[in-house]
Structure 1
Amino acid sequence: MQKPQPNFYNLAWRWHFYAGLFVAPFMVMLALTGIIYLFKPQLDSLMYSSLLEVPSGHHTVPADDLLQRVKSAYPQGQVTQYLPPPNAERSAQFVVKNAGHELNVFVDPYHGDILGEQDAKQNLQAIARAIHGELMIGTVGDRLIEMAAGWGVVLVVSGLFLWWPRGQAAGILWPRLNSRGRVLWRDLHAVTGFWGATLLLLMLLSGMTWTGFWGKQYAQVWNVFPAAMWENVPTSDIEARSLNSATRQTVPWAMENTPMPMSGDHAEHMAHGNAHAGPAAPAVSLQAVQDIASERKVEPGYSITLPTTATGVFTIAVFADDPRNDATLHVDQYTGKVLADVRFEHYGTVARATEIGVMLHEGKMFGTFNQIVVLLICLMILLSAVSGVVIWWKRRPEGKFGVPPLRHDLPTWKTGVAIMLVLAVVFPLVGASLVVVWLLDRFVLPRVARRTADMPR
């Protein structure tokens, strides 16, 4: 008599349950903050038009004169960045560190009038970005987001196994809308999850490239530039990622692990990486740096980060909506020499693909169409998360947690183990948490369940 095939459905369901339990709150948060950041151009124009928009004029005020106006208005402040107007009807912007705050200061480029200021870390978009990237709690938040994204992969893979058709199409490829209660919620959850699985995986993986642990390792493997690009330039131990923060993106992802060059002939004789030899004293004007960007046809929308030390550089950078227009230039603050000029064509194949993935993730690559697609993905994520919680609540035994039951006489599920091992190797934080959850499920939860069952009622 042939031995019946073991049924691993409940085991997959159990891990899908654990993944959903952890991931669902994060997915809701990522979807909501993602929608806010997705429509940043429209929301900024709506909320801050008085700061962003100016009547088009004939002659612009030189960048250095604008800089002096800002310095006069904030005598105790430190100007760290300048963003020239991206078009004829937009204001210029300076980033100023003043009295413990980072401010975005907007200036009319035609008259030099200061239009107003905005707290760079406390406006709607900055808060949404900071929550989306690190829950506004720094490294711990970043690691939690990374784990949630990795467990999201477990959720998708186990969900596809549970969804896999077993002889019917209704409730599999389309929901049974004439149903009610738990059946309808189950169909909405399964069908939405299936049709959005590939897109969700792409969103998870493209988003993980920005994480502090996995993303940094990924960048170190794939963001490789020819050594010759830096051979004749004195470089520091500081990486370009230092110009990015949770609330502000300056250099493209592909440039984050590249070394920052140093200004001045004396830089070669300084201790390697010593970037604290004194304050910056640029001999090159800000307008001259802006002219370099124009001469080298850098895409409008770029920023110019000012040097803060004697060996620092001006950095012209644009993280373009179309990654093919990415540019990062480092300029010597004393001579105006361009020490590095890195464009999209210098990126490796994987770095190019990653940059394109990031722009698709942010809804910027194809304008409004891209925004609508990403909005639909976010709404799908919200529907999947909400419907999953409703299904659990409706089937949960009264007074119990409702973990899917598991037969203990099952043999080892080799395919499942292989998938988990691959995930553990590719995503180490997920691997560590998988081991913790497995140990809890194997040794702790059964004891808790037995004690609860033995308690007098």
Structure 2
Amino acid sequence: MAIDEAGLAPEHAPPRTGWWAQLRPMLLRLHFFAGVLVGPFLLVAACTGLLYVFTPQLEQLVYDRELHVPASSAHQPLAAQVDVAERALPGAELKAVRPGPTATDTTQVIFHAPDLPSSYYRTAFVDPHTGELRGVLQTYGSGQALPLRTWFDQLHRNLHLGEPGRLYSELAASWLWVVVLGGVALWLGRRRSRLAELVTPKLRPAGRQRVLSWHGSVGLCAALGLLFLSATGLTWSTYAGANIGELRSALSWETPAVPTDVPHLGGGDVGIDRAAATAEAHGLSGPLEITPPGDGAYQVQEIGRSWPTQQDAIAVHPATGEITAALPFADHPLMAKLSRWGIDAHMGLLFGWVNQLVLAAVALALICAVVWGYRMWWLRRPSRGFGRAPAGRPWSQVPARILVPAAVLALGLAWALPLFGIPLLVFLIADTVAGAIAGQAVRR
């Protein structure tokens, strides 16, 4: 059976007239080169992300002594638990306290660690029933990731290469949406009689057509999840993330914080136990984080990140124990809420194990799609060569009414996503040079 340049049988190929016939070769070439060149980065990001997905459960097992205690009706005051932690880390500056949310959880007393990189802390774990120190561990980020989860988090984020390593994940996130949208357009552009054929891979016959069927069907089924991971992953990136942050700031989409300024502090301190009791009386529940007053008020915030999200916060006057300000999560701007939910879903926290299973399925789909893509490339190689790209010079076939708006859009995206723009420019230059060389060879 004859196969065209995309690997499609003629009876399944799209019509060769109209705008799609003009646009399709360009999409095919872009999808091919993006898949070949960015595929390794996508593969690494998917594999490391898959390894991270279930680290919260592993964390509970590995650090059982630090995190868990036998249930008891006895209870030590929070202030006494903080004293135990401060004796274990003399001279350390207290950052926050997280009381155990259940009777079998330890209290986490978090300290600043100037000798560690930014966002790293030292946390003492105290039995709330007996006041026993259960251990001291290095923790990371607002999620209080313990060493095991931190290791996998940094593997996924930067391959343990520091800031330069973050470029790999930003490149993957910057191009994932391009590969996905291009692949979806090419797959849906095929002439098929039933929608079911688009999402049902072929089991036979063996060969490139079957691989193409699995590549397209699985990619289409995972497309929404992959686009979501691309969008949320960019918020953590170095360059695109900074641009997204500036946009959020300009549009007032940033996550607000409860004001802790207290005009007249007065004397005395009601203490951390009174601040916790005030928060409980106000209706705050679940996991809480209490930040000491410093030059202002106590801040008490819900830190639950599962659905429904609990992120209400209050400020408590350190001298009177009265609430000076309150910030319900319901009052956050919509984009701030979407950002919170998006980040938590990306990390597998929003819907618990269901969220984790979906992430694992999407990561496996991406791994398979990349492997199948390379497999198709290999099956399509010349008998003595390493492989070949789709033939022709598709850019010249696209009419100006399509090419000009696409170029303007690409320029805008290149400014916002530098690691999309730079590889695209390199690809266009290389493709143009290769086309010119091939043209000269033909003329000779």
After TM superposition, the score normalised by the length of structure 1 is: 0.76
Conserved? CA contact 2:43–2:366, under 8 Å: yes
Distance 1:180 1:114, change over 3 A: same
Taking the aligned partners of 1:186 and 1:429, their CA distance within structure 2 comes to 33
Question: Alpha-carbon deviations, 1:61-108, whole Å to 9, x = none?
Answer: 111111111111111323322111011111111223458243232111
- For 2:124, the equivalent position in structure 1 comes to 105
Shift of 1:141: 5.1
Taking the aligned partners of 2:217 and 2:405, their CA distance within structure 1 comes to 26
Shift of 1:128: 2.6
Does the alignment pair 1:219 with 2:260? no
Conserved? CA contact 2:171–2:420, under 8 Å: no
Distance 1:319 1:53, change over 3 A: closer
Taking the aligned partners of 2:313 and 2:91, their CA distance within structure 1 comes to 30
Shift of 1:113: 0.6
- For 1:123, the equivalent position in structure 2 comes to 147
Which amino acid letter does the alignment assign opposite residue 380 of structure 2? R
Distance 1:426 1:413, change over 3 A: same
Distance 1:402 1:24, change over 3 A: same
Does the alignment pair 1:325 with 2:354? no
Question: Alpha-carbon deviations, 1:216-256, whole Å to 9, x = none?
Answer: 135325555xxxxxxxxxxxxxxxxxxxxxxxxxxxxx62x
Give the alignment partner of residue 427 of structure 2, picking from 441, 447, 452: 441
- Which has the larger displacement, 30-39 or 110-119? 30-39
Distance 1:118 1:78, change over 3 A: same
Does the alignment pair 1:200 with 2:248? no
Does the alignment pair 1:31 with 2:18? no
Residues 35-74 of structure 1: pairs in structure 2 closer than 5 A: 35-74=50-89
- For 2:143, the equivalent position in structure 1 comes to none
Taking the aligned partners of 1:190 and 1:421, their CA distance within structure 2 comes to 29
- Which has the larger displacement, 154-163 or 214-223? 214-223
Taking the aligned partners of 2:392 and 2:163, their CA distance within structure 1 comes to 36
Taking the aligned partners of 1:420 and 1:259, their CA distance within structure 2 comes to 44
Shift of 1:331: 3.8
Give the alignment partner of residue 273 of structure 2, picking from 287, 293, 312: 287
- SS of corresponding position for 2:209: helix
Does the alignment pair 1:15 with 2:30? yes
Shift of 1:9: 2.8
Shift of 1:438: 4.5
- SS of corresponding position for 2:122: strand
Shift of 1:213: 1.8
Task: Give the gaps of 5 or more residues in structure 1.
Answer: 225-253, 268-280
Does the alignment pair 1:411 with 2:398? yes
- For 2:368, the equivalent position in structure 1 comes to 383
Conserved? CA contact 1:11–1:406, under 8 Å: no
Taking the aligned partners of 1:153 and 1:319, their CA distance within structure 2 comes to 30
Taking the aligned partners of 1:282 and 1:95, their CA distance within structure 2 comes to 23
Which amino acid letter does the alignment assign opposite residue 377 of structure 1? V
Question: Alpha-carbon deviations, 1:177-220, whole Å to 9, x = none?
Answer: 12324333222211111111122223322444454324413532
Shift of 1:263: 4.4
Question: Alpha-carbon deviations, 1:111-153, whole Å to 9, x = none?
Answer: 0111112222471212333344455556655565344323211
Shift of 1:164: 2.0
Distance 1:427 1:329, change over 3 A: farther
- For 1:84, the equivalent position in structure 2 comes to 99
Distance 1:357 1:98, change over 3 A: closer
Shift of 1:402: 3.5
- SS of corresponding position for 1:265: coil
Taking the aligned partners of 1:365 and 1:305, their CA distance within structure 2 comes to 24
Identity %: 24
Taking the aligned partners of 1:339 and 1:24, their CA distance within structure 2 comes to 53
Distance 1:262 1:32, change over 3 A: farther
- Which has the larger displacement, 445-454 or 16-25? 445-454
- SS of corresponding position for 2:100: coil
Shift of 1:23: 4.0
Distance 1:450 1:209, change over 3 A: closer
Conserved? CA contact 1:77–1:99, under 8 Å: no
Q: How many residues in Structure 1 have an aligned counterpart in Structure 2?
A: 407
Which amino acid letter does the alignment assign opposite residue 217 of structure 1? E
Taking the aligned partners of 2:246 and 2:217, their CA distance within structure 1 comes to 35
- Which has the larger displacement, 368-377 or 139-148? 139-148
- SS of corresponding position for 2:314: strand
- SS of corresponding position for 1:86: coil
Conserved? CA contact 2:314–2:327, under 8 Å: yes
After TM superposition, the score normalised by the length of structure 2 is: 0.77
CA RMSD of aligned residues (A): 3.6
Does the alignment pair 1:159 with 2:183? yes
Conserved? CA contact 2:98–2:107, under 8 Å: yes
Distance 1:305 1:415, change over 3 A: farther
Give the alignment partner of residue 345 of structure 1, picking from 300, 318, 330: 330
Task: Give the gaps of 5 or more residues in structure 2.
Answer: 1-15, 141-145
- SS of corresponding position for 1:120: strand
- SS of corresponding position for 1:325: coil
Distance 1:92 1:196, change over 3 A: same
- For 1:429, the equivalent position in structure 2 comes to 416
Conserved? CA contact 1:321–1:365, under 8 Å: yes
- For 1:184, the equivalent position in structure 2 comes to 210
Taking the aligned partners of 1:40 and 1:71, their CA distance within structure 2 comes to 29
Give the alignment partner of residue 304 of structure 1, picking from 290, 293, 297: 290
Distance 1:105 1:390, change over 3 A: farther
Distance 1:425 1:445, change over 3 A: closer
Taking the aligned partners of 2:180 and 2:161, their CA distance within structure 1 comes to 27
